[in-house]
Amino acid sequence: MLDIPGWVPFHRLAVVFALLVAIGALALVDRPNRLTATLRRRFLFGVPWGTLVTIGGVLAVYLFLQDGWSSWYRPIVIPFRAWSYFYPLGMLSAPFSHSSAGHLVGNLIGTLTLAPVAEYALGHYPRRRGSTSFGSLRTDPYVRAFLLFPAGVFGVGLLTSVFALGPVIGFSGVVFAFGGFALVTRPITTILALFSGRVVRLFYDAMLSPEVTATARPVFSTPWWAQIALQGHAIGLLFGVMLGIWVLRRRDGPQPTAMRSFAAVLLFAVQESMWAVYWFRGSETFVLFRAVGLALVIMLAILVALTVASSNRPIRANAPTGSVGSAHRWQVGIAVLLLATSALTGPAIPANMFTAASDDLPGERVDVRDYEITYVEDVPNGLTAAFDIELFGESTTTNTSGVVVKSEQRGIWTTAVSKNRLAFDGRSVVRLGGVGWRDEAVAARDGYVVMGTGTSAYRVFLATENETVLAHKTGPVQAEPVVAGRNISVVPTDAGYDLRVSSDRGTVRGPMPTANVSTTLDDIRFVRHEQFVFAEHRGTRVRVAREETYK
């Protein structure tokens, strides 16, 4: 149970009270009836029902499919990623699943703020002349609100999954589609909605943690921009933009100005870090192409602006019907947007045709149903090794080290815990499962930092409910200090650790000393003090190793 001071609930009440006072004051000064009437003209009973149904569906996936109901902060993730076309469950579930509670909340807030703008532009009531509500299923407000809008969201979600590059997960591609559609139809309202999302997130954080105390401590992290599914965000945005342009042209109403569209798209793209174009070098090294990313964002903004603002006039006057010159000017922009979308989605098709090979994983492993878990070092990544492409000095083929999870049945091959992450934490839990079940495997490391080398002699264990195996151990690591002409090495064994003393006269070996028991090898006495191991010889005392500690 959380130990929450008695005055923390007062902080929450203060936030709620301030919000209610603000709403009441605005209601007295302004005319809320005007806003209500405006919403009722486009929404059934003035409520964006499609947005609410969408939020409910995404939340249900997290709670019940990913088992967030019983473990809110530790959902099942691996089986619900979009691994390949040969794993339909992943393709269907990935766009509506999430990797953590924070990931889910961020996308739900984005949906809550951007989806109503898109839903308002579409409306629950038909807008064409001569159309009447309830005249057909397509014009029925209840069908449009509770069926057509959620169905469209589901379709866009599948598109972002099918054309995503890599085993993605999350609703953010659809959120960006909401943003793209809203930017085209109502650019200024979209920017206001975007920044209102930050207010909503702050309100959520303030209610969840009214007061935060932080202390300086070491952390293991990757660059924030290396955690963005940029390709998925980009194709979601482009899908939304093209759908928005299609709706605008069908209605033949007033179009947003080029300046408004340009400013809105640029602000949105910069705020959502769409300029963060990056690539990976190895398993934990990344390179950010900031300047290239900014140039691409500016080009995207001007392309969308010119397409939205272009007229229906042909490219060339008096051009023969059916020729290129007879195409409408805005259609040129659509063609360029389609080319950009194809360039982003095209590489995903061959990549998603790859599935985990049937080759056995190296080393000892543990099994959890159809999952195989092992520990490897410096082996080709099972996902990126399928296509060896080099461009601008970067390659798609990388080696990886860490805890690997493989399922031939599901087409899964992933580094679930990197080598450096395990070295930092010492212990990590790998959560596995499927529809209706969950299980886990534990990876644990112990070792000694060998003085003067900057490296460790260590072992890695893997454990499930039924078995524990030694999955990896390093070779002997020799310390830099030389004592009485003898070299000293730390040697990992199946049972623990040994010390090895080598000289011209030969080699002797014995167990690592404990807190109460010393070890003497070739006239050198080894003792343990706290986590340090010392070598003593004729009044000389040298530190040779330190037991690893973890954060």
Which pLDDT tens digit goes with each residue over 405-422? 999 888 898 899 999 999
Contact 438, 432 (CB under 8 A): yes
Query: Taking a C-beta distance cutoff of 8 angstroms, is the pair 87, 167 a contact?
Result: no
| 398 and 489 assigned to the same domain | no
Same domain, 347 and 494: no
Contact, 256 vs 178, CB < 8 A? Answer: no
Query: By the 8 A CB rule, do 78 and 438 touch?
Result: no
Mean pLDDT, rounded, for 155-169: 90
**Average pLDDT for the chain:** 86
Starting from the edge strand earliest in sequence, which strands make up the sheet with 371-380, in order?
365-368, 371-380, 399-407, 412-418
* Residue keyed to tokens 């070098």: 281
For residue 284, is it within any domain? yes
The per-residue DSSP string of 279-294 comes to: EESSSS-EEE-HHHHH
pLDDT tens readout for residues 431-443: 999 998 999 999 9
For residue 3, tell me if it sits in a domain. Answer: no
Tell me if 315 sits within 8 A of 325, measured CB to CB. Answer: yes
Residue written as token pair 């343990």: 528
Averaged pLDDT for residues 12-41:
76
Task: Look up residue 409 and give its two tokens.
Answer: 């049945």
Answer yes or no: do 376 and 500 share one domain: no
pLDDT-derived band at 131, boundaries 50, 70, 90: low
Residue 73 lies in a domain: yes
Same domain, yes or no: 324 and 268:
yes
The pLDDT, as a whole number, for residue 215 is 79
Same domain? 450 vs 517? no
Instruction: Please tell me whether residues 390 and 337 are part of one structural domain.
Output: no
Pinpoint the alpha helices (H) of 30-143.
Answer: 32-42, 49-60, 88-93, 101-122, 141-143
> Final residue of a domain: which of 353, 378, 408?
353
- Kindly state the average pLDDT of the residues 271-293: 82
Q: How many domains does the chain have?
A: 3
Residues 6+ apart with CB under 8 A from 536: 524, 525, 526, 527, 542
What is the pLDDT at residue 297? Answer: 93
pLDDT of residue 526: 95
pLDDT score recorded for residue 7? 54
Which residue would you say has higher pLDDT here, 135 or 143? Answer: 143
Minimum mean pLDDT among 124-128, 146-150, 182-186: which range? Answer: 124-128
* Nearest one of 349, 357, 371, 456 to 416, comparing CA atoms: 371
pLDDT digits (tens, 9 = 90+) for 169-219: 999 999 999 999 999 999 999 999 998 988 888 888 888 888 777 777 777
In degrees, to the nearest 5, what angle opens at C-alpha 304 toward C-alphas 298 and 307?
140
DSSP 8-state code for residue 398: -
CB 429 within 8 Å of CB 384: no
Q: Which one of 470, 489, 515 terminates a domain?
A: 470
517 lies in the same domain as 419: no
Two structure tokens written together for 428: 């990590």
Provide mean pLDDT across the span 508-533.
Answer: 92
Q: What's residue 3's pLDDT? A: 45
In a shared domain, residues 105 and 126? yes
Q: Are residues 538 and 439 in the same domain?
A: no
Question: pLDDT at position 393, please?
Answer: 47
| Residue 219: both structure tokens together | 């952390």
Is the residue at 418 inside a domain? yes
Tell me, yes or no, whether 360 lies in a domain. Answer: no
In the predicted model, is pLDDT for residue 397 greater than 70? Answer: no
Does 285 lie in the same domain as 428?
A: no
How do strand 519-521 and strand 506-511 relate by DSSP bridges? unpaired
On whether the CB atoms of residues 333 and 249 are closer than 8 A, the answer is: no
- Which structure tokens are listed for 361? 């994983």
Q: Is residue 217 part of a domain?
A: no
For residue 319, give both structure tokens. 């051009």
Establish if 305 belongs to a structural domain: yes
Is 488 in the same domain as 465? no
Would you state the pLDDT for residue 333? 84
pLDDT reported for residue 2: 43
- Crossing angle, helix 329-345 and helix 230-251, to 10 degrees? 160
Looking at the structure, tell me whether residues 16 and 145 fall in a common domain.
yes
For 464-471, what is the mean pLDDT?
93
- Residues composing the chain: 551
88-to-91, 140, 165, 297, 354 alpha-carbon distances in Å: 5, 33, 16, 33, 13
Two tokens, residue 163: 């054309």
Name the β-bridge partners of 278: 288
What residues does 449 pair with on adjacent strands? 456, 546
Half-sphere exposure of 198 (CA within 13 A, CB side): 6
Does residue 4 fall inside a structural domain?
no
Residue 424 pLDDT > 60, yes or no? Answer: yes
Range of the domain at 539: 475-547
Nearest Cα to 505, choosing from 524, 480, 528? 524
- Of the candidates 435, 470, 505, which is a domain's last residue? 470
Provide DSSP, 429-454. EEEEEETTEEEEEEEEEEEEEETTTT
Say how far apart CA 220 and CA 222 lie, in whole Å: 7
